[in-house]
């Protein structure tokens, strides 16, 4: 049941991204259902690989919202405008996205497996990790209450019920097992989903605007009727990928942003999984396997790359269960329900505002994991106050500027260059983390007082390669190949 809760959370972003992009690509409900099944199938494979060979943390791998900007640029490319047949346009656009993702995967695997990201992560300290993790949660605020507000009569009850069950109900029901906190997602979703079904069947939304019906009704997703009973996604199902250099560069920028967001999520997952901070070598290895995930997404035909799931990291805190076995069971559910499409489409038809209400709680948990690292810093130091305050403000202010003034189509210059700039500087996590790392490493970090203020005295035993025995896992696979190949 715990694994099924993690599976339910993956449906939010897995359904939201295709619902946003597939209609622009010319696809209908049938194409959207196949894309959702493909994303679920690949997410299950990537989660298995991440838990076995990557960071080996209880972390779920899903599609990344960061890739929406470069993917939208590919959809709006001029070379696809001449195609009038919607199905043909969808196939051509998907092949262009596949080509960009395959090139992007090479970049991410080089960053991870060659240890380049490990070198960058070694410059972190508890002080610079605070905005790193905090904005991994706060940076996705547009997927929280704004989506909840698209159907307040469903989203707000879900938010109230999940908070009541997880935080208050245990005061009235005394059990040996923490049932209320651990299964609050299942209980609350079942209650509000039933309420949404009653509203839909009673005809409350029959005369409402189209957008309201799409957000509130349980029968408007189009997935149940369009999904096949059994369908196994396979590589290059849309055709041979096509390649464009500018679009690939824009995708690589999105991949660069996902490195920051995934690394922050890995630290939050380790925190809520009762593990010590993850060594840089293990973070780098996890990034490399995320690159393998991007390659699989490009091969199977997904409209977005991969990232470590922020909401599932928050669910670890809500349930207080940080088990890899639970995550692997959730990966099995992803693969199973992606193959048996009708059954998976039933759960995928849960209205998005219900999942968005859960995000409000779970993203907050991830943000608080970052604030928890402040206990290792000296908050009375003005150096600490300046780095924290400045990085937090810039992490909010800079993306807001680019979102309001730089995201339109009226700017001169190549579109792919605009996408690179927008993707990087619209990311709250990337901006806040870069500002914090640069300031932390440039403001007199050499003296003992500054190192103590940043928490390095506690942090170094987890970040130096030879001082943490877990770094020996960097080249050791869990299947113990040394039994068969002694040279290893």
pLDDT digits 0-9 by tens, 445-482 = 667 777 888 888 888 877 665 556 555 554 454 444 34
Q: List CB contacts of 96: < 8 A, sequence separation 6 or more.
A: 74, 77, 80, 241, 242, 244, 247
Which residue's structure tokens are 């500054």? 450
pLDDT of residue 6: 93
Angle CA 112–117–123, to nearest 5: 160
Cα separation, 409 vs 375, whole angstroms: 45
Q: Which residues of 321-337 are buried (b: 16+ CB within 10 A; e: fewer)?
A: bbeeebbbbbbebbbeb
pLDDT of residue 483: 44
CA separation (Å) from 187 to 20, 163, 181, 230? 28, 11, 10, 29
Per-residue pLDDT of the chain (488 residues; tens, 9 = 90+): 999 999 999 998 898 899 899 999 988 888 999 999 999 999 999 999 999 999 999 999 999 999 998 999 899 888 888 888 888 899 999 999 999 999 999 999 999 999 899 999 988 889 999 998 999 998 888 888 888 998 999 999 999 999 999 988 888 877 777 788 889 999 999 999 999 999 888 888 888 888 888 888 888 777 888 888 899 999 999 989 999 888 899 999 999 999 999 999 999 999 998 878 888 989 999 999 999 999 999 999 999 999 999 999 999 999 988 899 999 999 999 999 999 988 888 888 888 899 999 999 999 999 999 999 999 898 998 999 999 999 999 999 999 998 887 655 555 567 788 888 889 999 999 999 999 999 998 886 667 777 888 888 888 877 665 556 555 554 454 444 344 334 43
Query: Against a cut of 0.75, is the pTM above it?
Result: yes
Which residue's structure tokens are 């605020």? 141
CA separation (Å) from 385 to 378, 438, 456? 9, 15, 16
Write down the domain spans for the chain: 2-375
Cα separation, 158 vs 354, whole angstroms: 6
Helices 2-25, 184-201: inter-axial angle, 10-degree rounding: 50
Through-space distance between the first and last CA atoms of the chain, rounded to whole angstroms: 39
Nearest to 110 by CA among 301, 278, 256, 235: 256
Tokens of 459: 């942090």
Cα separation, 327 vs 336, whole angstroms: 14
**CA-CA-CA-CA torsion for 322, 326, 332, 334, nearest 10 degrees?**
-50
pLDDT of residue 418: 87
pLDDT tens for each residue of 185-200: 999 999 999 999 998 8
């Amino acid at each position: 049941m715990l694994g099924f809760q993690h599976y339910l959370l993956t449906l939010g972003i897995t359904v939201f991204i295709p619902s946003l992009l597939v209609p622009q690509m010319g696809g209908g409900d049938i194409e959207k259902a196949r894309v959702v099944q493909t994303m679920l199938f690949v997410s299950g494979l990537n989660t298995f690989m991440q838990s076995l060979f990557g960071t080996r943390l209880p972390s779920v791998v899903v599609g990344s919202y960061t890739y929406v900007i470069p993917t939208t640029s590919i959809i709006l490319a001029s070379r696809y405008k001449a195609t009038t047949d919607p199905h043909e346009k969808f196939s051509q656009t998907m092949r262009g996205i596949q080509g960009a993702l395959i090139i992007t995967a090479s970049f991410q695997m080089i960053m991870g497996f060659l240890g380049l990201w490990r070198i960058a992560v070694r410059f972190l300290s508890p002080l610079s990790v605070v905005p790193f993790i905090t904005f991994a949660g706060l940076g996705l605020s547009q997927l929280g209450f704004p989506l909840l507000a698209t159907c307040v009569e469903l989203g707000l009850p879900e938010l109230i019920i999940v908070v009541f069950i997880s935080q208050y109900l245990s005061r009235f029901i005394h059990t040996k097992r923490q049932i209320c906190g651990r299964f609050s997602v299942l209980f609350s979703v079942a209650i509000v989903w039933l309420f949404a079904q009653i509203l839909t069947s009673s005809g409350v939304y029959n005369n409402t605007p189209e957008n309201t019906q799409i957000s509130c009704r349980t029968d408007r997703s189009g997935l149940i009727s369009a999904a096949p009973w059994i369908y196994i996604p396979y590589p290059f199902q849309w055709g041979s990928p096509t390649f464009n250099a500018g679009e690939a560069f824009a995708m690589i920028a999105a991949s660069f942003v996902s490195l920051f967001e995934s690394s922050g999520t890995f630290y939050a997952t380790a925190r809520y999984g009762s593990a010590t901070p993850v060594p840089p070598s293990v973070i780098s290895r996890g990034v490399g396997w995320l690159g393998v995930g991007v390659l699989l997404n490009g091969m199977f035909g997904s409209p977005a790359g991969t990232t470590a799931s922020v909401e599932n990291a928050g669910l670890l805190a809500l349930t207080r269960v940080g088990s890899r076995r639970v995550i692997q069971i959730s990966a099995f559910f992803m693969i199973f329900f992606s193959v048996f499409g009708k059954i998976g489409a039933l759960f995928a038809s849960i209205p998005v505002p219900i999942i968005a209400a859960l995000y409000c709680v779970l993203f907050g948990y991830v943000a608080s994991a970052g604030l928890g690292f402040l206990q290792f810093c000296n908050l009375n130091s003005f150096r600490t106050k300046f780095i924290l305050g400045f990085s937090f403000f810039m992490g909010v202010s800079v993306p807001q500027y680019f979102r309001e003034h730089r995201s339109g189509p009226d700017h001169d210059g190549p579109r792919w260059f605009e996408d690179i700039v927008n993707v990087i500087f619209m990311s709250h996590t990337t901006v806040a983390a870069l500002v914090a790392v640069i300031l932390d490493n440039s403001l007199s970090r050499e003296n003992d007082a500054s190192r103590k203020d940043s928490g390095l005295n506690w942090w170094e035993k987890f970040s130096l390669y030879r001082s943490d025995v877990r770094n020996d896992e960097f080249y050791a696979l869990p299947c113990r190949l040394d039994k068969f190949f002694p040279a290893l």
